[in-house]
Amino acid sequence: MSNATIRGLRRLALEVLYSLRGFFGTFGAGQLFLLRIIVNMPYALARPRLIIKQVYVTGVQSLVVIMLAGFFVGMVLALQAHLTLSRFGAEDTIGMVAALGLVRELGPVVTALLFAGRAGTALSSEIGLMRATDQLSGMEMMAVDPIKRVVVPRFLGGVIAMPILAVIFSAMGIFGAWLEGVIILGVDEGAFWSQMQAQVDLRDDVMSGVIKSVFFGIAASLLAVFEGYNCVPTAEGVGRATTRGVVHTSLTVLVLNFMLTAWLLGGN
């Protein structure tokens, strides 16, 4: 093996080690940040108005995006399901297929991805800009902990909003599937609803989707506020933090979804 190859391999190994160190460093910092959030929760809980405002900002202001996305995802789901199931004469089950797909997987996952893109970026950039314009330092100088006053209400707002948004996404998806399947493709309406009612279980299906979305809400909100709070206080730094927040949240949601699915299915 030539010296150049050895040098190249050594450099590669060092790069991997540095990346791993960076990853575990950020992971550890993220856990400590979550701990600080948990410790400071009583302050925010004693000021519910702060949390309600954030539920409005992250939840209500995301409603249009979530409802539109849910509606079209439901329509596509019905279209695809009809195409495949009609080959076996089972097109009556598209209501059940759409509902299961939505409440178990697509609702929580797509909502979390949309949340990362809409509310997550808003959270990261807002907190990052507060950092860049000395608003957080100003709070510290007024003896007000920004974690309590800024971070915790936004985190809790996201955690509360996410399951509600996921449920609304699924409901809109089912409506889209009904419109596509029953009204446009002519599937029997009674079969559509009765199949869904018979096969979708409240505890196993609906609740598993809600549980997932709670975890996704924690992950997405944590990553968004963490990136914003720890950004480099410049225009470029805020931009980078916002991008990092979306990318990390998207990947985390997908990995977490697999783990949660395995755990929830394992319980059956």
Partner 1 sequence: MSLSGVEGPRPAVRSGCPGSDNIVSIRDLAYARGQTMIFDGLDIDIRRGGVTAIMGPSGTGKTTLLRLITGQELPDHGSVTFDGAEVTKMSRRELFRMRKRVGMLFQNGALLTDLSVYDNVAFPLREHTRLSERLIRHIVLTKLHAVGLRGAWQLMPSQLSGGMARRVALARAIVMDPEIIYYDEPFVGLDPISMGVVVRLIRRMNDALGLTSVVVTHDVDEVSSIADCTFLLSEGRVVASGTPQDLQDHHSETVVQFMAGMADGPVPFHYPAPDYSEQLLSRSGK
CB of 12 to partner 1, least distance (A): 28
How far is it, in rounded angstroms, from Cα 93 to Cα 86? 10
Q: How many CB atoms lie within 10 A of CB 213?
A: 29
**The pair of three-digit structure tokens given for residue 85, joined into one six-digit string:** 């199931």
Using CB under 8 A, pick the residue from 84, 133, 197, 234 that binds partner 1. 133
Number of residues this chain uses to bind partner 1 (CB under 8 A) = 15
Q: Please state the closest distance from residue 174 (CB atom) to partner 1, in A.
A: 36
Residues 113-132 that bind partner 1 (CB under 8 A): 129-130
Residue 149 touches partner 1, criterion: CB under 8 A: yes
* Residue of the chain from 63, 68, 105, 145 that contacts partner 1 (CB under 8 A): 145
Task: List strand residue ranges (DSSP E) for 35-150, in order.
Answer: none
Residue type, 120: G
For residues 153 and 47, the answer to whether their CB atoms sit within 8 Å is yes
* Binding of residue 46 to partner 1 (CB under 8 A): no
Nearest residue (CB) to partner 1, 54 versus 221: 54
Applying the rule CB under 8 A, the residues between 164 and 223 that interact with partner 1 are: none
Decide: is 4 part of the binding site for partner 1 (CB under 8 A): no
Binding-site member from 15, 140, 189, 201 for partner 1 (CB under 8 A): 140
Cα(232)–Cα(68) distance, rounded to whole angstroms?
A: 35
- Please name the amino acid found at residue 240: R
| Residue 219: partners with Cβ closer than 8 Å, 6 or more residues away | 112, 249, 252, 253, 256
Per CB under 8 A, residues contacting partner 1 are: 129-130, 133-135, 137-145, 149
